[in-house]
Chain A
């Protein structure tokens, strides 16, 4: 299982939010590329980057920061936040992004997802962010009635090969992952699942690995020093599946 250190970018800076709330923000580094360097030097195998401004306004905003991280990283990177048009995705791929994460658009315009998957295949992932099992979109500012699992099954049918499931009520809280809902999603969806939200220890990483998830995104716990990245990667290797 891959451990993805998260780099959330707001106004060009590396930040963490609690439960996606912009009012509860901690700035970790004014330079996201420097934050990336820390995780790369600690042995990161991938980086998970979120353009928070992009997610909120509906188009990529922090491309300069992402370009600098791409220049810095000797690993593949995945980026989410604000991808609503095919042109947005194409621009990110051209910039050297290895995997583009679609969120809101996947719920609103599944036909765009179908086009993207046809063109870029495995380089497209869909993030389904849920509060009590129901999807939240637009940088989590909007709550929908759709069930995350239903949407995942439909998107899988049109070719999506990887999902990122975030439990909003856990994100940035260090409350531990919601293993019950994660296990249920993994059972219901054939595609690879990356878990996100609530990781607070290497034991949490091992517990996620044991569910059969393909990856886990770790944010605040790394920045606050509760988890050392090498220990998290080791936990993922010991108990995780080979992916």
Chain B
């Protein structure tokens, strides 16, 4: 069972559907116990980093997230959910979950902000998600981007004015700046790969 954390951030049905299409079961929950008990956790996110962190605190979800990650279960942050994995967030001048070292900056320069639409993502290092293609097309909606302290946390990049990390990974923690649940075939392929990691937790021999 994969827990999709419901903290009032956007429409979660597409994410649940994508997981189910990948052959796993999912529950949309704001219950910390359900998050801890799940085989893997997805932190979605739409909106403002400051408000999102406050909501996670109010719902007592932060300790549950930390516990799940400490148990080395696969964890995936999507869009704002990816940004929240990091330390300092320029949006809302707040601290994130601090699960990956680094900070979050605003997109600036000559590009249109927010970055909305389909864009290419290029793999820059090998990862446990061997099944996703080197060049994929994903759907993005964001005004901020992550800057990991350790560049080896970056799995894939997307060019939008500058090179922004589109996929990050550190141990069992994953983040996508794009919305896999809205990214058609390539997005579903990513979700399938993530679901496969969950299988690895349950039964390492089968993978």
A75 and B116 within 8 A (CB): no
B21 and A74 within 8 A (CB): yes
B161: interface (CB < 8 Å): no
Number of A-B pairs, beta carbon distance below 8 Å:
48
Instruction: Tell me which residues across on chain B come within 8 A of A161, comparing CB atoms.
Output: 112
**Which one of A5-13, A39-47, A147-155, A194-202 is at the B interface?**
A39-47
- Within the complex, the shortest CB–CB distance from B13 to chain A, in Å, comes to 4
Instruction: Tell me which residues across on chain B come within 8 A of A123, comparing CB atoms.
Output: 116
B18: interface (CB < 8 Å): yes
B55: interface (CB < 8 Å): no
B25: interface (CB < 8 Å): no
Interface of A: prevailing SS: loop
List A100-158 residues whose CB lies under 8 Å from chain B: 121-123
- In the complex, which range does the number of interface residues on chain B fall in? 20 to 34
Known: A95-B11, A96-B13. A43 touches B185 (CB 8 A): yes
B139 and A75 within 8 A (CB): yes
CB closest residue in chain A, given B179: A76
Known: A40-B184, A45-B184, A76-B139. A71 touches B13 (CB 8 A): yes
The CA of A103 and the CA of B14, in the complex, are separated in Å by: 27
- In the complex, which range does the number of interface residues on chain A fall in? 20 to 34
B182 and A75 within 8 A (CB): yes
Instruction: Tell me which residues across on chain A come within 8 A of B188, comparing CB atoms.
Output: 74
The CA of A95 and the CA of B187, in the complex, are separated in Å by: 21
- Within the complex, the shortest CB–CB distance from B101 to chain A, in Å, comes to 32
- Within the complex, the shortest CB–CB distance from B191 to chain A, in Å, comes to 9
CB closest residue in chain B, given A2: B118
Known: A76-B182, A95-B11, A96-B10. A71 touches B117 (CB 8 A): no
B181 and A74 within 8 A (CB): yes
Which chain B residues have a beta carbon within 8 Å of chain A's beta carbons? 10-11, 13-14, 17-18, 21, 112, 114, 116-118, 137, 139, 141, 181-185, 187-188
Which chain A residues have a beta carbon within 8 Å of chain B's beta carbons? 2, 40, 43-45, 70-76, 95-96, 98, 121-123, 161, 243
